[in-house]
């Protein structure tokens, strides 16, 4: 086999075969450098205008047609003035004369804090979807997005599931324990005629009343002063939320022109 020096003319000019060999070495060398950069976790950027804009998370854009290179940018998640930083969303607030205490959100898992996500439910906008296994409640919005909240759900044997509607809502509702609950906890007999709304009321700052076929199911989506139970199975069947979150949901439900459908599964 000829050595590289054999491929040079006497005049000192490289032959085409030599040019080919050098170009091949340059390509392989360049690939090697890029591989090393990738392996070392370097974040260097290559300026390749033909790739077009990157996605919102820094990833590559989606292409409608790889053959033509036409670009369909990945849509960004919406900005909602009520979905801000955790310190603002979970700050203390005064509502109807009650001072709702701030939530130590650092003690609440990130997945259970209010945020906008890509809608995973497939339900129509304006629907509430509770996924019991996830401990998440979704308010489905236009554009394929949803507001997601963390929730606490019923203990084993107390859960309810199905399709229904939110018949009505209340601010700082009165709580009346069912007779079955009073039988289990006799100390609750003092509230047999109803516990007035307030900071210690188990229904919290808002309650959404679930009806199916015109009948009260007895289940609610409501606030709770026990923020540390969010993400757990702790209730007697109702879906409980952080008070700041249930107020946010209430404002969305109240703005709906029709009764809000709810799916619990």
- Using alpha carbons only, give the angle 258, 77, 135 rounded to the nearest 5 degrees: 65
Whether residue 137 contacts residue 239, with contact meaning beta carbons closer than 8 Å, is answered with: yes
Active site residues: 222, 238
Looking only at the bridges linking them, the beta strands covering 206-212 and 162-171 are antiparallel
Look-up of token digits 């007697």? 236
Give the SS3 label for residue 98.
strand
Which residue in this structure is represented by tokens 């030599």? 18
User: How far apart are the C-alpha atoms of 223 and 91, rounded to whole Å?
Assistant: 15
The whole-angstrom separation of Cα 16 and Cα 129 is 68
Pinpoint the alpha helices (H) of 86-202.
Answer: 86-89, 179-184
CA-closest candidate to residue 235, choices 254, 220, 246? 220
Radius of gyration of the chain (CA): 30
């Amino acid at each position: 086999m000829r050595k590289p020096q054999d491929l040079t003319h006497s005049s000192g000019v490289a032959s085409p075969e030599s040019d080919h060999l050098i170009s091949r070495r340059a390509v392989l060398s360049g690939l090697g450098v890029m591989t090393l950069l990738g392996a070392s976790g370097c974040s260097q950027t290559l300026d390749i205008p033909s790739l077009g804009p990157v996605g919102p998370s820094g990833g590559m854009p989606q292409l409608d047609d790889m053959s033509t290179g036409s670009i369909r940018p990945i849509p960004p998640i919406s900005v909602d003035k009520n979905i801000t930083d955790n310190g603002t969303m979970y700050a203390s607030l005064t509502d109807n004369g009650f001072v709702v205490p701030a939530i130590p959100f650092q003690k609440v898992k990130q997945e259970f804090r209010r945020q906008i996500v890509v809608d995973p439910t497939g339900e129509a906008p304006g629907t509430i979807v509770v996924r019991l296994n996830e401990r998440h409640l979704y308010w489905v919005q236009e554009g394929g997005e949803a507001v997601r909240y963390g929730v606490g759900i019923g203990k084993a044997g107390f859960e309810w599931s199905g399709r229904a509607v939110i018949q009505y809502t209340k601010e700082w509702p009165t709580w009346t324990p069912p007779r079955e609950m009073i039988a289990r906890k006799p100390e609750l007999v003092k509230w047999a005629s109803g516990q007035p709304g307030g900071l210690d009321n188990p229904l919290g700052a808002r309650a959404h009343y679930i009806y199916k076929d015109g009948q009260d199911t007895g289940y609610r989506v409501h606030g709770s002063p026990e923020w540390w139970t969010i993400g757990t199975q702790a209730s007697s069947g109702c879906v409980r939320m952080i008070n700041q979150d249930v107020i946010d949901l209430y404002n969305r439900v109240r703005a709906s022109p029709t009764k809000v459908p709810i799916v619990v599964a």
